[in-house]
Amino acid sequence: MAVIYIHVPFCKTRCIYCDFYTRTNMDQKTPYVDAICKEMVLRANYIGNETIETIYFGGGTPSQLSEADFKAIFEAIFSAFEVTDNVEITLEANPDDLSVKYIDMLRRVGFNRLSMGVQSFDDAQLQFLNRRHSAQKAINTVKASQQAGFSNISIDLMYGLPDLSIEMWNKTLDQAISLNIQHISSYHLIYEQGTKLYRLLQKGEVKSAEEETSVEMFSILIERLQQAGFIHYEISNFGKEGYFSRHNSSYWLGAKYLGLGPSAHSYNRENRCWNISSIAKYIQGIENRKPFIEEEDLDPPTRYNDFILTGMRTMWGISTTDLKNQFGEEFLDYCNKNIRKHLQSGDVITEGDRYKISRQGIFISDSIMSDLMYIE
């Protein structure tokens, strides 16, 4: 099993918190799409003969692409790879881009899952983040997508924003739950260096949320979504039964993945590599059949650390049997020794041969995973 990720680096406007590689100039869209189609032929062998289980268009704003763009990319994918019959095909989308006509087109070309960057149902918060849509537009877009036949819809929500009160957060969750969607991803606002938001923080023009408030918001998020029938299957992800993100779950469960497009990352269990963060140089490299790619061969300690970081984020945790089989007794003993204090505190529990972070432990999950990391 393997998955494909396609990075679409175009946006109409740039959100103040975003540190992904994106550009607001669309002039290179056509040569970019051509390069994507050529790259998958050049690099298909990276993931061997694995069947493709999921295809994910991320960004940036993939909803900036046209029907012709999607058709060209899908034709190239189905020519270059064996794709499973029940492939999950996801589009990350800005609610503002999804007109009824565009939604119908997405269904027609083969998308069966939408992931919308809503972030908030409070207009003041959306304006602060420089989002292009209003709260009502997001609500209308979700409903239009459902009416068009999409039955697998995810939205992103953000907490820990400056001036976001507990009352406002509960109202956003009220609205999200009422939409009868299948999946919610929720992340704490991060002040990434180099972003406009980070500069505002440095100037003292915004103030980060108090840790106590952020913890309370996360606790409310977990409690309310579980009460609404969502399963908390990964630290930041909640899905109804049968609607977990198969694509993201593949990352956490160690599947191979091929990342296409500028700045996209790939992984085949032995090697990790990433494309150059430049549309022009990316296109140039593909045209010359010499992609600009940096890579890292993964030694056993690095692969063990990846195993810990991805597995312990999920409700499935890590299997000590798999750990021993993949990395040997030394790494198993190291994990057993360093996890002991978290078992004693109840922050980690066992289930069969698995270690899993408990409900109370999820609030210190970063610390737990850090303690399990192998340091030479």
What CATH number should be reported for the domain holding residue 246?
3.20.20.70
In a domain, 130, yes or no: yes
Domain contains 269:
no
Reported as a single tens digit per residue, the pLDDT across 303-330 is 999 999 999 999 999 999 999 999 999 9
* 283, 35 contact by CB (below 8 A): yes
**Is 27 in contact with 279 (CB distance < 8 Å)?**
no
Is residue 278 situated within a structural domain?
no
The pLDDT score that the predictor gives to residue 183 is 98
Residue keyed to tokens 């064996």? 82
The answer to whether residues 315 and 235 belong to one domain is no
Same structural domain for residues 245 and 318?
Answer: no
Long-range Cβ pairs for the range 326-331 (8 Å, 24+): 327/300, 327/303, 328/300, 331/300, 331/304, 331/374
Same domain, 206 and 143: yes
Residue 283 lies in a domain: no
Q: Are 94 and 156 a contacting pair, CB within 8 Å?
A: no
Please provide residue 153's backbone torsions phi and psi, each rounded to the nearest 5 degrees. -120, 135
Amino acid at 26: M
Domain boundary (210, 231, 251) is at 251
Kindly state whether residues 354 and 225 are assigned to the same domain: no
Phi, then psi, of 170 in degrees rounded to 5: -65, -35
Q: Which residue has the tokens 């989002």?
A: 131
Q: Number of folded domains in the chain?
A: 2
Buried b (16+ CB within 10 A) or exposed e, 5-24: bbbbbbbeeebbbbeebbbe
Same domain (yes/no): 39, 170 = yes
For 148, phi and psi rounded to 5 degrees? Answer: -80, -5
What is the model's pLDDT at position 22? 65
User: So what's the pLDDT on residue 336?
Assistant: 98
Q: Do 222 and 311 share a domain, yes or no?
A: no
CA angle at 321 for the pair 320 and 326, rounded to the nearest 5°: 95
Question: Is the same domain home to 217 and 334?
Answer: no
Q: What is the DSSP letter of 347?
A: S
pLDDT at 26: 76
Domain assignment present for residue 263? The answer is no
CB 283 within 8 A of CB 32: yes
Residue 260 falls inside a structural domain: no
| Pair 217, 328 in one domain | no
Q: Which two tokens stand for residue 124?
A: 């003041």
Predicted local confidence at residue 21, as pLDDT: 59
Amino acid sitting at position 170: N
pLDDT, position 20 = 60
pLDDT in tens, 96-145: 899 999 999 999 999 999 999 999 999 998 988 888 889 999 999 999 99
Domain termination site, one of 221, 251, 281: 251
Helices and strands in the chain: count of H runs, count of E runs: 14, 15
Residues 307 and 224 in one domain: no
Separation of alpha carbons 191 and 210, rounded Å: 14
pTM, entire model: 0.94
Residue 199 lies in a domain: yes
Whether residue 342 is contained in a domain is answered as yes
Q: Which two tokens stand for residue 34?
A: 């051509």
pLDDT along the chain (376 residues), means of 10: 93 66 74 96 94 94 93 97 97 93 97 96 89 92 97 96 93 98 94 78 80 95 98 98 97 95 95 94 96 96 96 97 97 98 98 97 96 91
Residues of the domain holding 341: 301-372
Per-residue model confidence (pLDDT) at position 6: 97
* Residue 35: predicted pLDDT: 97
> What CATH code is carried by the domain that includes residue 358?
1.10.10
* pLDDT for res 201: 76
Residue 48 shares a structural domain with residue 115: yes
Note whether 74 and 175 are same-domain residues: yes
Q: How many CA atoms lie within 13 A of 39 on its CB side?
A: 29
Please indicate, yes or no, whether residues 11 and 91 belong to a single structural domain of this protein. yes
